[in-house]
Structure 1
Amino acid sequence: MLAPDRMLPTEPALRGIAREIHQQTARLPVVSMHGHVDARLLAENRPFTDPAELFVTSDHYVVRMLVSQGVPLEQIGMPAAHEAVAVETDPRAIWRTFCANWHLFRGTPSRYWLEHELVDVFGVPHRPSAETADAIYDHLVAMLERDEYLPRALLDRFDIEILATTDSATSTLGGHAALAREGYGERIVPTFRPDGLLHPTAASWPQSVRRLAERSGIDIAGYDDFLDALGERRRTFIAMGARATDHGHLHADTTPLDHTDAARIFATALRGEVSERDADAFSSHMLFEMARMSVDDGLVMQIHAGVLRDHNAEVRRRFGPDRGFDIPVGAEFTRNLRPLLEAFGREPGMRLVVFTVDETVYSRELAPLAGVYPAMRLGAPWWFLDSPHGMRRFRELVTETAGFYNTSGFVDDARAFASIPARHDLSRRIDAGYLARLVGEGQLTLDEAVETAIDLAYRLPLEAYARRSEHAVSSLGVGADAYR
């Protein structure tokens, strides 16, 4: 059984207040506005393949922890491209490896999420270990064969009001089209992610441009055609229900180029002759252009900056991307975002949500920026900071400058579908504890703390990612009793 007061303050007086606050948010619907669940999972609505796929190989937090302790990627089912290397294909064997290494997750948010999933969602009666691995595996297999554990049934059980996926700008959106035909078009929506098109030195860039031309129906002979094709794809995404764009750049530089320079760099990139310096300048310029397009079409712009992707080139070459080797770097936002914010930061139609994994910029840069530019909101603690203490530090570092209402509320960035309710539960508990402290210190009344907790968990993400027509009239602070 999970401890009912887990992650709430240990001080008795504050724990009682936090418990009361959390009770008002625990059963709120889940608003999951940024994640990486594949829409096809819900469109096909097939049973999950096996416990190893559901809990281990689909979760890069789990993968990277196992790898950090010397477990070969092949041992947990990751094949090496073009190599005749033995790969474990038995999901039970992969599960045994995971359970035998359960102790590695002590003190990590992964442990919290996994326990929540195993106990609360699947009713597992044993703690994972080498000795209990087979019993847990058999229990999970029996659960996954039941209709109530199909993806859509879990979508309802988790009370996910809206789920945003993240989709390449050249995606066919076939899964979303199928879902829309079955009435899920307003509930499961795509997010426009054009990263593969905005970095012209990427090995796949020429193919990405060709696919963009095919998907948009626009022959891309030059830079203006490129912009038109991106605009056309954004319109397609909007027609499919998209609320936002997503940009995972190494740096948050948004310095625009003169149109002539942008066209010149694009032309050299098409010829395969672009320099690293010009490519970086073009990527920064395109962030500015994406902001301009967001002012025009109303898509919320999300920037995730400060992560060096695929730190190990050999792992990327052998096993592909997203194998846990993405490492944070120092981030700078004050100067890098200045061109974008000077141009669009006070535009009524612009909404920018900024995420970071560099805590040093929370109080020095991001909170002051969000605390003055109406268009900007701070995204929730992301990736390595999506943790109990990371969430607490976020509140402590940004609230006094930016307040609560210049943040996006909680978004989960989940890849593992079954972890979504666990992530939201953790966030709600941490916020309940932080707000309880403000009540205990006399900074808030209990009713204010409850209303703020509801806003952070539910209303703020709905408002931050609302369509432009909905964004014009905010419901914040109205009718809080309806959600208690």
Structure 2
Amino acid sequence: MTVTSTIGVDQRPWTLHADRALPAEPEVRAVARRILGETSALPIVSMHGHVDAALLADDEAFPDPARLLVTPDHYLVRMLVSQATSPGPVRDAGVRSVADLGVGDDGERDPRVIWRRFCAGWSALRGTPTRFWLEHVLAEVFHAPASPSPETADALFDHLADRLAEPAFRPRALFERFGIELLATTDSAVSTLDAHRRLGEQGWGERVIPTFRPDPLFEIARPGWPALLDELSAVSGIDAHDYDGFLLALRERRRAFIRAGARASDHGHLRADTIPLPAAEARILFDVARRGHSDPAAAAAFTAHMLFQTAEMAADDGLVMQLHPGVVRDHDRGVAARYGSDIGYDIPVATEFTRALRPLLEAFGHHPGFRMIVFTVDETVYSRELAPLAGVYPALRLGAPWWFLDTPDAIRRFREATTDTAGLRNTSGFVDDTRAFCSIPARHDLSRRADAGFLARLVAEHRLEFDEALETAVDLAYRLPQESYPRPAAVSA
């Protein structure tokens, strides 16, 4: 049912300030504006994210504004839920849990109700990157006539629903309008890659590529791990129920991903430990876990061993190894049991890299065929550990600020903390790490603005020539992502 509502005709069209997120100092802002002019229209190379490849393979219209922009956005959901018991507009709008924003099997199903709750809580997003991204999506992508509020909620919903019904707002049309040159998805190691196969058949195989994510297979204490071996065996065609077969099956899956266009593997365990085990000990831990018995210490040791094994495989086949440890997943176990994962309850912890990565880097840090990109949500290690490591090991690059750190101030802090020791070229370029397809251009725009501000300050302080700043800005926005994620040699020809 359509609710008729209007936004006052005397209200100005909603536009965003051209200098948003640029430095406040007039002299530096003027330089940043010129630097941004060199990068704002560059193609997007999105090498780490969580957009479902089926979205583009199917190319169907998005369902409604709430299911597109609210329910799947865990940044937004977590912020509104954090206000659920405080006096104010979020509680007044009826938000008590993630279910009230459409999450879970028993979640709210009326998209207009969800949208009204989001609009009522718009003020809770002030000052956050979520607010910045959503403003870009609403104003720049959908040309919304006004910002969200209780008064504009229904008119905005109708405006967005009308746009979503147009062919120009289907996924592939938006992909072209966003200027995306290359998009990497993140895919289970036991995925059949059917969506990527279909994309390849439709001529999109060079533009949307998979990323190999084997985490559940490396965590032998995880519930259901023995059943995963059945899936790995079936999809690889190799019996993975013993340790040696397990390694062979993983290598075969990596080859299958490379054939589908993959350039990287992705690993998000709690710790960065990479201590290898003697093969005999690894076999024992594997066999014990296969029988359903594995204690936390043994499981952590096996995960660390498999990260080392992954580096060895990567040195052979050329897949870039992405590592992003340091997050306690599903902090509220009751919420996770009821509503599932990836809804905002993943919380960062302090992370150690120097000793943890030493075995791996001693073995492969100078290997010409190995490339590793490390991300963190623990800012304290940037200058103390990660920048010095990236500043000496040829195989290591620093991943961009991501997840809780892809904000204007955190991106600036990242550059300030790492450039002295690692320089600028030992970073990987920006990754948006998003499930929210329509926010991809917003996130890359914010990164380019933050980097323009950082480089402009170097120019204003006479630490960098202006032409060098322009060249560096293009490196950070476009060239470095391409260089950091090369095609594996096996498929480069």
Tell me the TM-score normalised to structure 2 length: 0.94
Q: Aligned partners of 2:490, 2:458: CA distance in 1, in Å? A: 32
Matched, 1:157 2:177: yes
Q: Which residue of 2 aligns with 1:63?
A: 77
Shift of 1:77: 1.2
Q: CA deviation at 1:275?
A: 1.6
Q: Which secondary structure does the structure 2 equivalent of 1:180 belong to?
A: helix
Q: What's the counterpart of residue 386 of structure 1?
A: 406
Residues 229-283 of structure 1: CA distance to partner in whole angstroms, max 9, x if unpaired? 0011000000000000000010000000000000000000100112211111000
Amino acid at match of 1:53: R
Partner of residue 79 from structure 1, selected from 99, 104, 113:
104
Q: Residue 332 of structure 2 corresponds to which residue in structure 1?
A: 312
Corresponding residue of 1:100? 120
Output aligned runs, 1:266-415, within 5 Å.
266-415=286-435
Q: Does 1:133 align with 2:150?
A: no
Q: What per-residue deviation string (whole Å, max 9, x for no partner) do you get for residues 291-310 of structure 1?
A: 11000000000001100000
The residue matched to 1:57 in structure 2 has which SS? coil
Distance in 1, matches of 2:211 and 2:60, equals: 23
**Percentage of pairs with the same residue:** 61
CA distance in 1, matches of 2:346, 2:149: 28
Give the letter aligned to residue 318 of structure 1.
R
2:89 maps to what in 1?
none
Q: 2 CA distance for matches of 1:219 and 1:439?
A: 59
Other-structure match for 2:11? none
Residue pairs, 1:432-443, within 5 angstroms: 432-443=452-463
Query: Where does structure 2 lack aligned partners over 5 or more consecutive residues?
Result: 1-14, 85-94
Structure 1 residues 27 and 471, CA gap change in structure 2 (3 angstroms): farther
The letter of the residue matching 2:475 is D
1:471, CA displacement in angstroms?
A: 12
Q: CA deviation at 1:472?
A: 10
CA separation in 1, counterparts of 2:53 and 2:308? 29
Tell me how far 1:470 sits from its aligned partner.
10
SS at match of 1:226: helix
Looking at structure 2, the residues matched to 91 and 390 of structure 1 have their Cα atoms a distance apart, in angstroms, of 33
- Tell me which residue corresponds to 1:202: 222
Counterpart in 2 of 1:461? 481
Shift of the alpha carbon at 1:79? Answer: 2.6
Q: Secondary structure at the match of 1:359?
A: coil
1:8 aligned to which of 5, 9, 22: 22
1:37 equivalenced with 2:51 (yes/no): yes
Task: For residue 342 of structure 2, give the secondary structure of its aligned residue in structure 1.
Answer: coil
Question: Equivalents in 2 of 1:468, 1:346: separation in Å?
Answer: 17
What is the DSSP-based 3-state SS (H/G/I as helix, E as strand, rest coil) of the residue aligned with 2:324? strand
**1:48 pairs with 56, 62, 66, which one?**
62
* Deviation readout 1:322-375 (Å, 9 max, x if unpaired): 111000000000000000000000001000000000000000000000000000
- Structure 1 stretches (4+) deviating beyond 2 angstroms? 468-473
SS in 2 for 1:246: strand
Instruction: Give the match for residue 449 of structure 1.
Output: 469
What is the RMSD computed on CA atoms of the aligned residues? 1.3
Cα distance between partner residues in 1 of 2:99 and 2:137: 25
Q: 1:471 and 1:147 mapped to 2: Cα distance?
A: 35
Counterpart-to-counterpart distance in 2, 1:233 and 1:471: 15
Q: Is the 8 A contact 2:104 2:340 kept in 1?
A: no
1:128-187 per-position Cα deviation (integer Å, ceiling 9, x unaligned): 011100000000000001111000000000010000000000011111000000111110
1:20 aligns with 2:34: yes
Pairing partner for 2:439 from 391, 413, 419: 419
Structure 1's unaligned 5+ residue stretches are 474-484
Asked if the contact 1:42–1:152 (Cα under 8 Å) also holds between the matched residues in 2, the reply is: yes
The whole-number CA distance in structure 1 between the counterparts of 2:163 and 2:104 is 28
CA distance in 1, matches of 2:138, 2:104: 27
TM-score, normalised via structure 1 length: 0.95
- Determine if contact 1:463/1:471 at 8 Å carries over to the other structure: no
- Aligned residues between the structures: 468
